[in-house]
Amino acid sequence: MSPPTTDSRLLGRIAVITGASSGLGKATAIRFANSGARIICADLKSAGVEDEISKQHGKDSATFVSCDVTDESQIEDLVKQAVKWGGRLDIICNYAGVAVETSHAMQTRCDSLPTKDFDWAMSINCRGVWLCCKYALKQMLAQEPREPNARGERTRGWIVNAASMAGLIALNNTPVYTASKFAVVGMTKQMALDYAQDRIHVNALCPGFVESPMIQHFTDDAANKAQLASRHPWNSLGRPEDIADAALFLCSDESAWITGHSLVIDGAYTCG
């Protein structure tokens, strides 16, 4: 295994990552820490990601905060704890999400999906993202902006929302997941408009199928995995690290004039 990529692109920045205990969130937490950020790992339960980061970068490089994104008070408290620990909030990556259709073996159309499943998934994928943005924006507006970047602009913060290519195209048998991710793309664009004048970046990630716990039930079967990979012109599934690198770009000064963008990372899936 090659050594982790390290640089100083996020040096000194305080980053909250929801859904940090596994998959894309875990990969992003580690990648951001390797680029100099201090990380607040947020999830329902700790999986030790903060310990992994602290072991490599020092005890003050990461911490864990339990947060259920369906509970507004817990989201508000998450931001408060992040500021208490780090002094400010520079970045929030809203990765906590579910694909409720996976419990129905990916053969679910709208007429057969229980309404309670719709409500639960939307409370996490849509309402939870909106609330995380709300409280992050409140904090970013209240704090001093960072030092000037190469454009001479002082940025107040970076928000990255986990959408999906299912927020750009419809996927079969995913009536709730598709609806929630289209909502994330829409709210990202709208918030980018409202907060551009405040120099707060709001962008989204739109991955294709990525090897992660969300689709593990499907990829555990070699034939299914190969079939799913073949649907991408690149003929492979994504890795969590691919998404983490894209998030790093969107939260770095290299994206100084980018906001309201939905970055597609899908091996050309949506090109067909």
pLDDT digits (tens, 9 = 90+) for 217-256: 777 889 989 998 999 999 999 999 999 999 999 999 999 9
Distances in Å between the alpha carbon of 168 and those of 77, 181, 203, 207, 264? 32, 8, 14, 10, 9
CA dist 206 and 272 (Å) reads: 16
- The pTM of the full predicted model, rounded to 2 decimals, is 0.94
CA proximity to 203, closest of 166, 243, 247, 233: 247
CA geometry: angle 206, 210, 211, nearest 5 deg = 160
Active site residue 195: no
Show Cβ contacts of residue 137 under 8 Å, excluding neighbours closer than 6 positions.
Answer: 157, 159, 191, 195, 200
CA dist 181 and 161 (Å) reads: 10
Per-residue model confidence as pLDDT tens digits over 136-176: 999 999 999 999 998 999 999 999 999 999 999 999 999 99
Catalytic residue among 95, 135, 177, 195: 177
Give rounded-to-5 percent helix, strand, coil for the chain: 50, 15, 35
Tokens 């999986």 label which residue? 47
Structural domains of the chain ordered from first start: 14-215+241-266 (3.40.50.720)
